Amino acid sequence: MIRARSQDRDRLPKRGARTGSTVDSLWEELGILGDVQELAIRKLLAGELSRTMKRRKWSKAELARKLDTSRPQLDRLLDPTSRGGITIGTLTRAARVVGKRVDVRLLPA
């Protein structure tokens, strides 16, 4: 176990004290906040679609038909690291299929 020397202990934050800033502010400082938020949304959507497919025992082809999209587009939706664009229409249909709705808001930066 490593212990702080007594002169260093005074500079350490008190237990339970909040220090520093948020992870979002770090990502913003690094210039990747938008990319991180987009990846989080893609992961959320991919997870919801995958769970719905399993729960309802749907094949990818069946889900693609329900989304009124192609199988390759569905594969892009199911892969959160895909850089392919997702239209608002596709996002809205995907939400409807998994029993959700889309709520888009513009918030102050």
Domain with 36 in it: what CATH number? 1.10.260
Residue 81 lies in a domain: yes
Per-residue confidence (pLDDT) for residue 1, from 0 to 100:
47
Q: Answer whether residue 54 is part of any domain.
A: yes
Region of 97 on the Ramachandran plot (φ > 0 left; ψ -120 to 50 alpha; else beta): alpha
Instruction: Tell whether the model's pLDDT for residue 87 goes beyond 90.
Output: no
> How many angstroms separate the CA atoms of 71 and 76, rounded?
9
> Does residue 8 lie in a domain region?
no
Q: Does residue 11 or residue 108 have the better pLDDT?
A: 108
Averaged pLDDT, 84-90: 83
- Determine the structural domain holding residue 61 and report its residue range: 22-97
pLDDT digits (tens, 9 = 90+) for 37-73: 888 888 988 998 999 999 999 999 999 999 998 999 8
**pTM of structure:** 0.68
Short-list 75, 74, 55, CA closest to 64: 74
* Domain tally, the chain: 1
